[in-house]
Structure 1
């Protein structure tokens, strides 16, 4: 299992130069991948274009870019531009977005998300390979191309939790990214579902979880439960918490001392995921201690 780290909004509001410093430090420590989420703060792809050239050697990924507000022709050109800027180190993670945000903030339709992502991938993947598309479908029209010289098509992952979305991810993408999904659900639902849908291909399965190295586990869980309480009411995440038997986000937090976190990571590894995307949380001191520890468990 490859160890990657999450940066950006999921770890709290920080100026861009501080995010760049964190990513450089992770690259220097041998962390496999730097993942940036795309929420209501920093734009993930633009952030990677800004910080990536200063952090050589580390893979750079989005986890994830919501696609409903981005036409596939636009996203393809943006992703390929970033891919060129970072020397072909980009992994492009996309997702349907949290339905309440997509509908409330942008006024966009949210029904049949698996159908929408299937059609989106049918357009996006050829565009990333430099092919032209002439697509007139149920949810998208796209006519054109996104040809940029000297750029490799990035790998594409899809945020997938439910059975229909995992089927699409397995059939049309290179794998999936999850967030706050516990080990029971990973091992019994996520991994077997996408592996079955992928056929002979081995999918990349990135498990995103928050982590905090601390000697005061109860206090950290209480703070995390309060800060991330809204996630417990998001239908997409709520379904995974219920499947896990978890009351909310705090129950899937990786927390404790070095021995405890190592055991929790071993349990995640045993589910069959290929990558852990770990987001250090807590105070600045706790995040620093957590980051330093994670750099010792990259293998």
Structure 2
């Protein structure tokens, strides 16, 4: 679906919930069922390549048989450990189980994930992802593809076509531009809202314009804290942002590029600035108001992940009910 078409959809259709795959598969499936029952229209799950995270596509195959309406989006599945032919076959099976409900979000994965954890070589990740999407689109959308590239070569036959949307992860401006050039959407993760509005969106549009294609939507990942205690919210958010900056060099670079170089060193003032631009917090009314504001500011869709503060189970239920009660 194009960015312009997404903006015509009801608010509830444009806001999904992110569920982490770092828990037992049965618990993840229960959370997806609970989201559908609450009226949530889309769930995002990503395994990020962690060894203790359950495989997202396998989770969704089970979820497809236990749900009826909720859309299932991967955010993300790492491309390097999975050949596009394998990804295409898994996507075909998932589409058969949940026709029209699957959105496949893929990305190169961070260098630490691919090289340190998987022991694979990650060279030219954007070029690799570009070829990966081209091969995958040929298989899924066109039924067969003959490809001669730097990373993939060969004839990949197929007799079926399913036009499953292919979204890619993006962090830097070049990543968002690539999404505009080749993808059906861009997926961000822990990116400050001003950065998305001022840098990411123009890059996404420029990429689409360069290839004479419609602008795809951006689905922005943000944290939500159901609390009016700002100090407590900031303390919790600082921990998560600091962990990401410490663990993934691309985030340390991004935060430095946008003016917060000491976040990676634990500078609380800089982490607080980042937190205020990544976290939506307050009571339910103020959170709903902020969600409406964001989706009218150019952010086509939102992936909302709970930032637990006091009672995770209660707050998760509140968040699902909040999303499910948005204008339909």
**Taking structure 1 as the reference length, what is the TM-score of the superposition?**
0.90
Instruction: Give per-residue Cα distances to partners, 1:107-160, cap 9 Å, x unaligned.
Output: 222232111111111211110125222323212234323444xx6220000101
| Paired position in structure 2 for 1:212 | 225
Are residues 1:14 and 2:43 paired?
no
CA distance in 2, matches of 1:290, 1:242: 32
| Paired position in structure 1 for 2:266 | none
> Contact 1:186 / 1:271 at 8 angstroms: preserved in 2?
no
Report which stretch shifted further, 219-228 or 73-82: 219-228
Secondary structure, aligned partner of 1:254: strand
| Paired position in structure 2 for 1:229 | 242
Instruction: After TM superposition, list the pairs within 5 Å mapping 1:2-151 onto structure 2.
Output: 2-9=14-21, 13-39=22-48, 40=50, 41-148=53-160
| Paired position in structure 2 for 1:189 | 199
Runs of 4+ deviating beyond 6 Å:
none
CA distance in 2, matches of 1:80, 1:298: 32
| Paired position in structure 2 for 1:272 | 298
Are residues 1:290 and 2:319 paired?
yes
Report the RMSD for the aligned CA atoms in angstroms. 2.1
| Unaligned stretches of 5+ residues in structure 2 | 1-10, 261-269
| Unaligned stretches of 5+ residues in structure 1 | none
CA distance in 1, matches of 2:255, 2:130: 25
Deviation at 1:106, TM superposition (A): 1.6
CA distance in 1, matches of 2:71, 2:86: 23
CA distance in 1, matches of 2:200, 2:231: 29
Are residues 1:203 and 2:212 paired?
no
CA distance in 2, matches of 1:213, 1:298: 20
- Residues 286 and 243 of structure 1: is their aligned pair in 2 closer, same or farther, counting only changes over 3 Å? farther
CA distance in 2, matches of 1:181, 1:294: 21
Secondary structure, aligned partner of 2:99: coil
Deviation at 1:73, TM superposition (A): 0.8
Deviation at 1:194, TM superposition (A): 0.7
CA distance in 1, matches of 2:282, 2:189: 20
Aligned pair count? 294
- Residues 258 and 94 of structure 1: is their aligned pair in 2 closer, same or farther, counting only changes over 3 Å? same
Report which stretch shifted further, 241-250 or 176-185: 241-250
Instruction: Give per-residue Cα distances to partners, 1:229-279, cap 9 Å, x unaligned.
Output: 320232322344345556346342222222432343244224312110111
Deviation at 1:36, TM superposition (A): 0.9
Deviation at 1:228, TM superposition (A): 4.8
CA distance in 1, matches of 2:318, 2:230: 14
- Residues 180 and 267 of structure 1: is their aligned pair in 2 closer, same or farther, counting only changes over 3 Å? farther
CA distance in 2, matches of 1:292, 1:245: 36
- Residues 119 and 106 of structure 1: is their aligned pair in 2 closer, same or farther, counting only changes over 3 Å? same
